[in-house]
Amino acid sequence: MSLRSYRSVLVILLISAASTWACAQDGGVAFGGALYRFEPAEEALHLPDLETSLLPHVPLPVMAPELALQAFQQHGQEQIAESPSYTDETLVIAELPESSQRGAFELQRSYVSPHTLSYKPIHFTGDTFVKSNVITRVLQSEVDFVQKGDPKQVALSDANYRFSYKGLQQLDGHSAYVYQVKPRVKRVGLFKGRIYLDAHTGAVLRSEGTIPKSPSFLVRKLEFVQEYATVDGYTLPVHLHSTAQARIIGQTVVDIYHRDYQIQAVTASRTTGNSGQP
């Protein structure tokens, strides 16, 4: 991916690692692609076919920590192979604090499983430099990974990470198991930090940490927080916040929001997955 200025090269180096990292959280998404799926509570509990208004609310039981981690990894593996197509509304906000430059870009994102990702621009406000040399490069990096990346190389699996249980805590109203994660190998896209799993389902609620293997010696530090929500039985990324420190340009801050997911049937994804280009 060529850029027309040295400063632009530095910016995309900062962002590409954050975009690649997201794939590990979504089983190969890079904000698009394979997703974790968790069955509804009624199906998981095998409730009889009764009028739902007559049934009391039955909360799911709390899993043991090792079972929650096992469920998380199992669903992740399944969804790498079985990913639905979808659309969503995406908002990317990028800022270079030291130069007081900022931009916000609203887009419609369309993913056709397994390797097609595209964006339709809706509205932009801010500095054109940020649009052309930060946000656009972030989106192109994501498209490139969906086309060519290998989800298994960055997945949150035993092959790539060591997991260490750290306890139970409340996270935005959810009981969450906290696990420290450390990469087993030095590979761009793997991170060191923590994941938070729903204690009832094993669904990932949040990931956070740092990228120990930088894509460039010019990047000194890259940190992120990724949050998720469950939509139509799938756990989807809803917000990524990343900050990076780099030589010459200083701090770079990027926030990516996703909302209004419209998920298509998996069968349709498989049928149309190899058609079209982003």
CA distance 239 to 229: 9
On whether the pTM is more than 0.85, the answer is no
Q: Which of 258, 248, 168, 156 is nearest to 208 (CA)?
A: 156
Query: Is residue 175 exposed (0-12), middle (13-18) or buried (19+ Cβ within 10 Å)?
Result: middle
CA distance 79 to 73: 10
Q: Which of 121, 75, 93 is nearest to 15 (CA)?
A: 93
| pLDDT given at position 234 | 79
Q: Which of 137, 107, 155 is nearest to 14 (CA)?
A: 137
CA distance 9 to 233: 39
| pLDDT given at position 245 | 84
Residue written as tokens 């639905």?
A: 84
Strands 174-183, 161-171: pairing is antiparallel
Joined together, the tokens standing for residue 45 give 């509990």
Q: What string of pLDDT tens digits covers the 278 residues of the chain?
A: 333 333 333 344 444 434 433 433 444 333 333 344 444 444 444 444 444 455 566 678 999 999 999 999 998 888 777 778 999 999 999 999 999 999 999 999 999 988 899 999 999 999 999 999 889 988 998 999 889 888 788 889 999 999 999 999 999 999 999 999 999 998 888 999 999 999 999 999 999 999 876 666 667 788 999 999 988 877 789 999 999 887 777 888 999 999 999 998 664 334 444 433 33
In the chain, the domains with their CATH numbers are 6-43+60-272 (2.50.20)
| pLDDT given at position 12 | 42
The residues facing 107 across adjacent strands are: 90, 121
| pLDDT given at position 113 | 87
Joined together, the tokens standing for residue 185 give 């190998």
| pLDDT given at position 79 | 72
The 3-state secondary structure of the chain, one letter per residue: CCCCCHHHHHHHHHHHHHHHHHHHHCCCCCCCCCCEECCCHHHHHCCCCCCHHHCCCCCCCCCCHHHHHHHHHHHHHHHHHCCCCEEEEEEEEEEEHHHCEEEEEEEEEEEECCCEEEEEEEEEEECHHHHHHHHHHHHHHHHHHHHHCCHHHCCCCCCCEEEEEEEEEEECCEEEEEEEEEECCCCCCCCEEEEEEECCCCCEEEEEEECCCCCCCCEEEEEEEEEEEEECCEEEEEEEEEEEEECCCEEEEEEEEEEEEEECCHHHHHHHCCCCCC
